Structure 1
Amino acid sequence: MQSSTAKIIMVGLLTLVLLIPLQYVKSLILERAERQENVVNEINQKWGESVYLYGPVIKVPYITYTENKLIDEKTNKVTYQRSTVTDYAYFFPNDLTITANVPTEHKKRNNYESVVYTAAMDFKGNYTTPDFSSRNIPAENIKWESASIVVKTNNIRSIKGAVGITLGGKQYTFEPAENPDDKDTVAALETRAINLRDAFAGGAVNFDFKIQYKGSEALRIVPIGKNTQAKMTSNWASPSFEGNFIPDDKTVSTTGFDAQWKISHLNRPFAQQHFGALPNLSDYSFDVKFLIPVNQYQQNERASKYGFLIIGLTFLIFFLIQSVSKISIHIFQYTMIGLALIMFYTLLISITEHSSFRLAYIIAGLSVVAMIGLYSISILKNFKFPAFIATALSGLYAFIYVIIQLENYALLVGSIGLFLILGAVMYFSRKIDWGNANA
């Protein structure tokens, strides 16, 4: 049992056994992360959830006729009954210019944090005269005097203040409304009846529509103009541009971002007018997400994934030292060292909840390095090897921290680092006589 082979087997088994408490630590991190997600969702629900909208859209009712075939069961006589049905036509703007200012702020509850925003948006543009010629609808069947303006949105509850639109120099106010015939099942804002015959008497009509939201997580807008230009500014320094369209021009700095979109109707698979119902346009929006890029629990989870590597390499260093120095290290002492390494992750997550991840990582790392370094002095009976162990462990923790902070190059840097570590182990162990090395 004192041979190098037996010691290697025992240390290897101990390493596998220590994966059990390490897994409990990972479960703790996931539990705290889930708790954070629940609290963040609660904050967002009270402040305002993500926002999706498009508009303004002209809605014009028109009359169509249907014939129902009726058969008399006694005489088998066939008659036709004509009924009147009111349908709706929807017309999108010709030119649409969107300006959005989206300042953000952090909301905290206990140890948890969420980012929310207040969006002030201005939609300007113009409409050309609605054209029914493609559907061969008689002019007398079009109810121009009962038209309205519609804005589709998923989040009526988070709208701030009154919402109105200026159309052709006249002001109209929106009220909540729903159209169950729409395929786009989100709620809607709708004006009272507008006489479009008078509004379009002089041709194209300009409009100016303003709306303010309290929201969180994301802002999604569908570019329904035949030519849409959008500009969004915010103090959020880590935006994520997603959706069906990315900005044509953007500037992101530590003080915020400025993004611009230019989208033609040729870039999207839907028309400028729709008869009967509005389609579901949620897949054709341009999106900006306002999320904390890597939160503390994600960083803790990524750090814990390297726990096996930390334990294995630390044990390897101790084993090589005992093989070179002929100092015997008991399996109980290996166990104490392994538990100290696992305590790093419990210290890390607990301190992170009350400070930054960087500070927590430094405090936890220094604490564990100091504990193992002082413990090594009593084991190895000198200062040279404990100093080497403390230096190597500090370098290993620093290497893991760098990998955690990297995103695109994490795999590359990690692979190169592990290659160099393996090379160093091979170099320092090249002269050990394993046949005669006893621990």
Structure 2
Amino acid sequence: MEIHQTEKNSKKLAAWFKSSISAKFIITGILTLLLMIPLSLIQDLIAEREVRQKSVVSELNDKWGNEILLYGPILKVPYKTYQETVVFNETTQETEKKQTTQLKYAYFFPKTLDINTDVKTTAKKRNNFETTVFTADIATSGSFEIPDFSLKSIANEDIVWDKATLEIKTTNLKGLKSEVKLNLNGNSYSFETKANGNSELDALESSYLALEDVPNTTTRSFDFKLTYNGSKSIRFVPIGKVTNVQMTSDWKHPKHTGSFITQSKRTTENGGFEANWKLLHTNRSFSQQYFKVLPNLNQYAFGTDFIIPLNEYQQSERAVKYGFLVIGLTFLVFFLIQTLSKISIHPFQYLMIGIALIMFYTLLISISEHSSFFKAYLIAGIAVIVMITLYSKSILKNWKFTLLIGSSLSALYSFIFVIIQMESYALLVGSIGLFIILGIVMYVSRKIDWDFDSAQPTHLESQLTTENS
């Protein structure tokens, strides 16, 4: 009797799960949560491929040229200092005062500094990975005023004018593609590299200036040009009393960064940009001249980052983040159709549909590595929508519901693609879209008779009792 009663209860429970709306809803929810496991594995795959991409891009950039930070020229003038020391003379057995001379350096920044930069970008590709590098032509001009040693009470005879030089501080020396020559007061000076071998900037230093070129009696003007191969960014430090920087480029996605904002900027006819900065010495918190040691001024740098707003892996990652929404809403559509039309859909069929939705992301990642993200999204989307739509026809036996599934998936994937492409308005558009979807679901689900669950077990029990009799 106990075995017979247990068997009867099992049949009753199985029948209830088969016909109960709540049971179907619970099973659908469990399947949705289970499908989050392969979805998280896909996110790990994207992260792995993105790390590989960054490694390849870093290698390409390193061979072409890295980030550029530049400031100069800086007038470097040596001066003498004197120090008295007391020494003991063993011969006379008396102490004597001895004066030693030390050579130190004073650094003076330009009075005016004008920098014009023209940047041409180029795409570099290795296997499936691509990066953007650039060639920058930098033309610099300005003037030095007479150095003021009075702040340190340094006598004029202690200033070693004939040993004065010019320095240009910079990074990415291997990206430098032109000979560095500076014109000062009509004469040309070549520069030699002074590599630091640490985190500080390297320096380009000129040979000793001719006495007639040193600005010790009057203002001297200068100009020089540099051609750089670089990547990621170009930045300058405003060391002039008045610093004017103009930058033009064909790059369509600039990000102007640093301690100072642009004075003006505009988009050019070719889709690139033109940006201008104008800074005074009162806008910054460092001096116009230094004695003994030149500080690290990197923190005051400004310029432009040449960024790729969203690469294929970043867009794929954003698409996967909406995976729960895609699976959940797709299952919800099938659940509503099943509930309203009384068509039976087996959990295994839900699982097959869920796996097809997961396959969309693997197709997206693999195809986007060989093509653009738009083409990959289009191909993967059409493939999955067609597969699920045809599969739905065999389940639902009705073209009306089948077309509803196909159109719902098309609208959902289109909506997510629009959100992925947006940056500033992604949250706003996504929130509005989800609100509309919620309204549609609420409107459709209002016809569901949720009381069916409470009455169903009694009906099934009577039916089973009749069958057992």
Give TM-score scaled by structure 1 length.
0.95
Paired position in structure 2 for 1:275: 291
CA-to-partner distance for each residue in 1:352-387, whole Å, 9 max, x for gaps?
Answer: 111111111111111111111100111111111111
Q: Is the 8 A contact 1:144 1:197 kept in 2?
A: no
Alpha-carbon distance between aligned partners in 2 of 1:291 and 1:212, rounded to the nearest angstrom = 21
Following superposition, the deviation at residue 35 of structure 1 comes to 1.0
* Code of the aligned partner of 1:160: K
Paired position in structure 2 for 1:115: 132
* Code of the aligned partner of 1:164: K
Where in structure 2 are the equivalents of 1:8-23 lying within 5 Å? 8-23=25-40
Alpha-carbon distance between aligned partners in 2 of 1:375 and 1:72, rounded to the nearest angstrom = 105
1:193 aligns with 2:180: no
Paired position in structure 1 for 2:376: 360
Alpha-carbon distance between aligned partners in 1 of 2:350 and 2:87, rounded to the nearest angstrom = 91
Q: Is the 8 A contact 1:247 1:260 kept in 2?
A: yes
Alpha-carbon distance between aligned partners in 1 of 2:97 and 2:314, rounded to the nearest angstrom = 68
Following superposition, the deviation at residue 409 of structure 1 comes to 0.9
1:4 aligns with 2:28: no
Paired position in structure 2 for 1:234: 249
Paired position in structure 2 for 1:370: 386
Following superposition, the deviation at residue 70 of structure 1 comes to 6.1
Alpha-carbon distance between aligned partners in 1 of 2:148 and 2:212, rounded to the nearest angstrom = 12
Following superposition, the deviation at residue 84 of structure 1 comes to 2.3
Q: Is the 8 A contact 2:147 2:216 kept in 1?
A: no
Give TM-score scaled by structure 2 length.
0.89
Following superposition, the deviation at residue 81 of structure 1 comes to 4.7
* Code of the aligned partner of 1:63: K
1:31 pairs with one of 41, 48, 58:
48
1:317 aligns with 2:333: yes
2:233 pairs with one of 197, 203, 218:
218
1:349 pairs with one of 365, 371, 375:
365
Following superposition, the deviation at residue 80 of structure 1 comes to 5.3
SS at match of 1:53: strand
What is the Cα-based RMSD across aligned positions, in Å? 2.1
Paired position in structure 2 for 1:138: 155
Quickly say closer, same or farther: Cα 1:71–1:17, change in 2 above 3 A: farther
Paired position in structure 1 for 2:11: none
Alpha-carbon distance between aligned partners in 2 of 1:218 and 1:84, rounded to the nearest angstrom = 44
Following superposition, the deviation at residue 201 of structure 1 comes to 6.1
Identity percentage of aligned residues: 53
Paired position in structure 1 for 2:218: 203
SS at match of 1:263: strand
Query: Which structure 1 segments of 5+ residues have no match?
Result: none
SS at match of 2:383: helix
Alpha-carbon distance between aligned partners in 1 of 2:73 and 2:140, rounded to the nearest angstrom = 8
Quickly say closer, same or farther: Cα 1:331–1:140, change in 2 above 3 A: same
Alpha-carbon distance between aligned partners in 1 of 2:339 and 2:97, rounded to the nearest angstrom = 101
Q: Is the 8 A contact 2:28 2:350 kept in 1?
A: yes
Task: Provide the aligned length of Structure 1 versus Structure 2.
Answer: 435
Quickly say closer, same or farther: Cα 1:345–1:178, change in 2 above 3 A: closer
* Code of the aligned partner of 2:27: M
Alpha-carbon distance between aligned partners in 1 of 2:283 and 2:204, rounded to the nearest angstrom = 27
Q: Is the 8 A contact 1:100 1:233 kept in 2?
A: yes
* Code of the aligned partner of 1:428: V
1:59 aligns with 2:65: no
Alpha-carbon distance between aligned partners in 2 of 1:178 and 1:142, rounded to the nearest angstrom = 26
Following superposition, the deviation at residue 71 of structure 1 comes to 8.2
Alpha-carbon distance between aligned partners in 1 of 2:449 and 2:300, rounded to the nearest angstrom = 68
CA-to-partner distance for each residue in 1:165-205, whole Å, 9 max, x for gaps?
Answer: 0011111000001579xx98211000111144653365110
Q: Which has the higher helix share?
A: 2
Alpha-carbon distance between aligned partners in 2 of 1:310 and 1:264, rounded to the nearest angstrom = 54
Quickly say closer, same or farther: Cα 1:82–1:384, change in 2 above 3 A: same
